[in-house]
C-alpha cells in the first residue's frame, strides 16, 4: 500500500485522491449528473463542497450543495477521508475488524461497520454483476463453512432450537439451517498459453443447501453454455449434461485427475486450491456469523479475481465498485436482520 502514503499526509490530499477515483472525468452532480458544478469551501475533515448550478436553478435557490461523498456509502460516516483511506488500504490486506481498528486507531465497532460497508459494496456491484460469466474450462465444487448466528438472538429464536455448539460434528450433507452453510465454487481455469491472461476467475456463492434446484439457476446464470464443465461424481451436477460438456472425476474411487483421449485434463484441483485460500482467509474472522459470511466471501472473490494486477490497480478497481454503489443492499440486509435469500438475486 506504499502508493497511498502521499495521500495520507492530510485530509485534503486523501479527499482529493478519493474524489479523483470517484469522478475520473471530472466532478458530476450526484443528483442530476450535470458537470456544471462550482467548488465551494471545504468541510473541516477535508471534503470538498460543490454547488450544482442546474439543481439550484431548478429548486429556485441560491445554492444546491453536495460534497465528495454525497450519495456514496461514505455519506453517513463520521470517519474522515484520511481515516477512510487508511481503512481501505487495510481492508485490501484482508485484515479483520480487530486488526483494522488497531492499525487505524479507530473503535472496533466502527471498523466492523466499515468492513461491512466495503464488503457489502463489493457484493452488490461485483458479486451480483450479471455481466460476469465464466467460459471455456470451468470447474465446480462445493465446500462447507461453519457459521452460526453469533449475537443474533432473533435468528436463533427463529430456528426454534438450541444455539449451535462450536465444533459440532454433523452427519450427511450440511445446510445453512444446521449451522454449516455450503458454498458453491465455480472457477474458470487460467489459460496457461496466454501470458497476459488474468488470474483464474472464480465465482463463490453461499447456499442454503446443495440440492440441484438450488444450484441450477446459479450455474445457468454464471457459466456460458457450451463450456467444458468439470466436477466430482456428486449427482447434483448431473443436470449440466444438457448444456455443457460435463466430465467428472471419481474421488470415491481414488481418481483425482485424468487426461481424456481428446487431451482434456479432468480434475477440480484449481477449485480445491481456492478453497484452501478461502479457508485461510475466513479463519481470520474467528467464528463468522452467517449473516455476514457471504460479504466476506465476496471480498475474497474480488481480491482473488484481481490477483494478477498490482496493488494499486486492484485498489482502484475496488474503489470503482465501491463508488458505484449507494449501500442499498446493505441497508436492506440490515433491515431484514439476515442474509437475503438467493431467489432475490437470480430471477
Ligand atoms: Zn445537480
Segment 202-259, tens digit of pLDDT: 999 998 888 888 888 888 889 988 888 888 888 888 888 888 888 888 877 777 788 8
Distance 18 CA to ligand 1 centre (A): 20
Which residue pairs from 163-172 have beta carbons closer than 8 angstroms and sit at least 24 positions apart in sequence?
Answer: 166/287
Distance 53 CA to ligand 1 centre (A): 7
Strand-pairing partners, residue 202, are 187
Q: Are strands 201-206 and 182-188 parallel, antiparallel or unpaired?
A: antiparallel
Residue-level pLDDT at 339: 59
Distance 322 CA to ligand 1 centre (A): 21
Sequence-distant (6+) residues with CB within 8 A of 57 are none
Taking the whole predicted model, whether its pTM rises above 0.75 is answered as yes
Q: What is the pLDDT along the chain (347 residues), one digit of tens a residue?
A: 788 899 998 899 999 999 999 999 999 999 998 999 999 999 999 999 999 999 999 999 999 999 999 889 898 888 999 999 999 999 999 999 999 999 999 999 999 999 999 999 999 899 988 888 998 889 988 888 776 655 555 555 665 556 555 555 555 677 777 777 889 999 998 887 777 778 889 999 998 888 888 888 888 889 988 888 888 888 888 888 888 888 888 877 777 788 888 878 888 888 889 999 999 999 888 778 878 888 999 999 999 999 888 899 999 999 999 998 877 777 777 776 555 555 555 54
Terminal Cα-to-Cα distance of the chain (whole angstroms): 39
Strand-pairing partners, residue 223, are 134
The answer to whether the Cα torsion of 141, 146, 151, 152 is positive or negative is positive
Query: Are 33 and 53 a contacting pair, CB within 8 Å?
Result: no
Distance 62 CA to ligand 1 centre (A): 13
H/E stretch holding 289: none
Residue ranges in 8-129 assigned as alpha helix (H): 11-22, 53-59, 81-92, 97-104, 108-122
Distance 156 CA to ligand 1 centre (A): 46
Helix, strand, coil percentages in the chain from 3-state DSSP, rounded to 5: 45, 15, 40
Alpha carbons 337 and 152: distance in angstroms, whole number: 8
Distance 63 CA to ligand 1 centre (A): 10
Residue with cell 462445493: 142
Alpha carbons 150 and 161: distance in angstroms, whole number: 14
Distance 81 CA to ligand 1 centre (A): 23
Distance 126 CA to ligand 1 centre (A): 27
Query: Are 90 and 106 a contacting pair, CB within 8 Å?
Result: no
Which residue pairs from 300-304 have beta carbons closer than 8 angstroms and sit at least 24 positions apart in sequence?
Answer: 300/94, 300/204, 301/126, 301/127, 301/202, 301/203, 301/204, 302/122, 302/126, 302/127, 303/92, 303/94, 304/199, 304/202, 304/274, 304/277
Residue-level pLDDT at 249: 85
What backbone phi and psi angles, to 5 degrees, belong to 258? -150, 155
Distance 328 CA to ligand 1 centre (A): 21
Query: Are 250 and 232 a contacting pair, CB within 8 Å?
Result: yes
Amino acid at each position: 500500500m506504499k502508493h497511498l502514503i502521499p495521500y495520507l499526509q492530510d485530509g485534503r490530499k486523501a479527499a482529493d485522491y478519493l474524489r479523483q477515483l470517484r469522478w475520473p472525468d471530472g466532478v458530476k452532480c450526484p443528483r442530476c449528473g450535470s458537470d456544471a458544478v462550482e467548488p465551494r469551501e471545504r468541510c473541516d475533515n477535508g471534503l470538498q463542497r460543490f454547488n450544482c448550478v442546474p439543481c439550484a436553478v431548478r429548486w429556485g435557490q441560491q445554492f444546491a450543495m453536495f460534497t465528495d461523498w454525497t450519495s456514496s456509502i461514505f455519506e453517513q460516516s463520521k470517519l474522515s477521508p484520511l481515516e477512510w483511506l487508511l481503512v481501505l488500504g487495510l481492508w485490501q490486506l484482508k485484515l479483520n475488524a480487530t486488526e483494522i481498528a488497531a492499525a487505524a486507531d479507530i473503535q472496533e465497532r466502527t471498523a466492523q461497520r466499515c468492513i461491512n460497508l466495503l464488503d457489502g459494496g463489493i457484493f452488490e456491484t461485483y458479486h451480483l454483476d450479471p455481466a460476469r460469466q465464466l467460459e471455456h474450462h470451468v470447474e465446480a465444487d462445493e465446500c462447507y463453512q461453519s457459521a452460526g448466528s453469533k449475537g443474533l438472538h432473533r435468528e436463533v429464536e427463529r430456528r426454534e432450537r438450541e444455539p449451535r455448539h462450536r465444533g459440532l460434528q454433523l452427519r450427511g450433507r450440511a445446510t445453512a439451517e444446521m449451522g454449516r452453510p455450503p458454498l458453491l465454487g465455480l472457477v474458470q481455469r487460467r489459460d496457461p498459453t496466454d501470458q497476459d491472461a488474468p488470474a483464474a476467475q472464480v465465482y463463490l456463492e453461499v447456499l442454503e443447501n446443495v440440492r440441484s434446484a438450488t444450484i441450477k439457476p446459479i450455474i445457468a446464470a454464471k457459466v456460458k453454455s457450451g463450456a467444458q464443465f468439470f466436477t466430482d461424481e456428486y449427482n447434483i451436477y448431473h443436470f449440466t449434461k444438457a448444456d455443457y460438456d460435463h466430465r467428472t472425476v471419481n474421488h470415491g474411487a481414488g481418481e483425482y485427475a485424468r487426461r481424456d483421449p481428446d487431451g482434456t485434463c479432468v480434475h477440480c484441483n484449481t477449485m480445491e486450491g481456492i478453497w484452501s485460500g478461502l479457508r485461510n482467509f475466513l479463519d481470520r474472522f474467528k467464528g463468522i456469523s452467517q449473516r455476514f459470511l457471504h460479504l466476506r466471501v465476496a471480498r475474497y472473490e474480488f481480491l482473488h479475481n484481481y490477483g494478477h494486477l498490482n496493488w494499486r490497480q486492484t485498489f482502484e478497481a475496488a474503489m470503482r465498485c465501491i463508488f458505484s454503489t449507494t449501500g442499498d443492499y446493505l441497508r436492506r440486509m440490515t433491515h431484514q436482520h439476515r442474509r437475503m435469500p438467493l431467489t432475490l438475486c437470480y430471477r
